[in-house]
Structure 1
Amino acid sequence: MKIITAKEVEALLQEGKTLHIIDVRENEEVANGKIPGAIHIPLGFLDVRMNELDKNLEYIIVCHSGGRSGMAANFLTSYGFKAVNMIDGMVAWEGPIE
């Protein structure tokens, strides 16, 4: 599984890179803020919503601390998607939130 840190994601966003981020946390968690532009798909809905995703894009998967995002990245990869786990999750995120 490919991994990336919150610091690396923040740096890429600051450089103006277009990133495709999926936040797999629950609604209550996302209500406290998410990375700007991230798509919110709770982990339990990923299987029914993956038809909304493009297999030509690479997705950075985010959760609270990296565990659920790791499961989601593995799941998506098993279906032919390009997925990267943000291993330290939102607990390490110091960038802007929306």
Structure 2
Amino acid sequence: MSGAPPPHPRRVLTEVFGYDAFRPGQETVIRAVLAGHDCIGVMPTGAGKSLTYQLPARILPGTVLVLSPLISLMKDQVDALRELGFRATAINST
């Protein structure tokens, strides 16, 4: 691991994910995760909860485990992450 500081979350938001700004609540959760805090983000459907674990996964070392109740959501998320250059897979009952 290099001694370089990790990239700033807004830079990753723009350069990796292609967004100009965080949605309400996202940055608070992301900064808590990056600071090593346990947290929970309660947001409505479509609020961008996925980014709150995807962005830290790009910055922090290690593996991220995501539990999802829907196989279709797993597939969509894995496909989208692979397009962004993430190593991702889904394990399900099929």
TM-score range, shorter chain: 0.3 to 0.5
Higher RCO structure (Cα 8 Å, ≥6 apart): 1
More strand per residue: 1
Under a length normalisation based on structure 1, what TM-score does the superposition of the two structures give? 0.35
Under a length normalisation based on structure 2, what TM-score does the superposition of the two structures give? 0.36
Bigger radius of gyration, 1 or 2? 2
